[in-house]
Structure 1
Amino acid sequence: MGRSLFRTSLFRRARLWATGTLMAAGAVGLAAAPASAWTGGNVWVNFGSWNCPSGGSVVGVYWAVDTYSSGPATGDWGDNVVYPRVRVGSGSYNTLSYQVMCKKWGWYQYRGVVSQRTLTPYKSGLSYTY
C-alpha cells in the first residue's frame, strides 16, 4: 500500500508540474504576440539628379534595405529607379541604404554620396522620390 500511495503522489506532482508549465507557456505566448504585423511587399524608389553632387544624372544605384533585401552586387543599372522588397503595413520600418552612380558629360561616371532613408509604407506599390 505504501508504494501505491507514493506512485499516486508522484503522478499528482507530475500532473501539477505539466499543468503549470502549459499555463506558463501560454502566458509567455500571449506576452510575445507582436503589437503590430507587417508583410513583405515592394515599393518604387526614384532617385533625382540632385543626388549627384558634381552634376549629371543618375544611371545606376547600389542599394540594400536593412538585412531584409538588397540589389544586385554589381548595382542596378540603366535608370534611376529601384523596386526593393520592403516590410509593408502596420509596424513596418525599413532603412534604405543607397549610393547612386552618376554620369556627366556623356562619358564621365562617378559615385554619389552614400545615404540612408527611412521607409514606412502602408501598402505595396507606393512610390518614393529621393
Structure 2
Amino acid sequence: MVLLNAKNHKNGRRYTSDEMLLCLSIDKSSASAHRYLCSILPFPTPRRVRQLLTKFRWDCGVTETMKDCLKEAADRLTDELDQVFALMRVEVSLKLNVHYSAEKDKVIGEEDWGTNRTSKYADHALVFML
C-alpha cells in the first residue's frame, strides 16, 4: 500500500478494502497513531477511513443477514477443531444521544430490542460476539 501510493498525489491514491479495514482498525485502536502515520506515510486520512463505517448497516437484534453469514461460515467449517466457538457477552455504556434518522425513518437513541422498541432512552448496550 505504501509503495504503490508513494508516487501518487494525495487525491490520486487508491486503496483496497483490506487496506482500508487495516487503517480503520489502526484508527479505532489509536486515533493519534493513525494521524501520525498519515503525516509520514501515504495512508488514507482518518476522515476517509471513518466514512467506511457509514457503509455498514447497523441494526439491533438478530438480523437475517447475521443469520445468513453465520450459516455460511458454519457450512465452510469441515475440521472438527474449527467447529469450537466461544460466545462472549459485553455490556457497553452509551452516551445519551437521541436523533431522528430519515434514512431509517426512526428515532435513534431509544431502547431497541430488535423485535420491539420503547420510548426509554438507551444508556447501555448488550453486545454478543461469537
Q: Could you say which TM-score interval applies, normalised by the shorter chain?
A: under 0.3
TM-score of the pair, normalised by structure 1: 0.19
RCO higher in 1 or 2 (8 Å CA, sep ≥ 6)?
Answer: 1
Q: Hey, which of these two has a bigger chunk of helix by percent?
A: 2
Which has more radius of gyration? 1
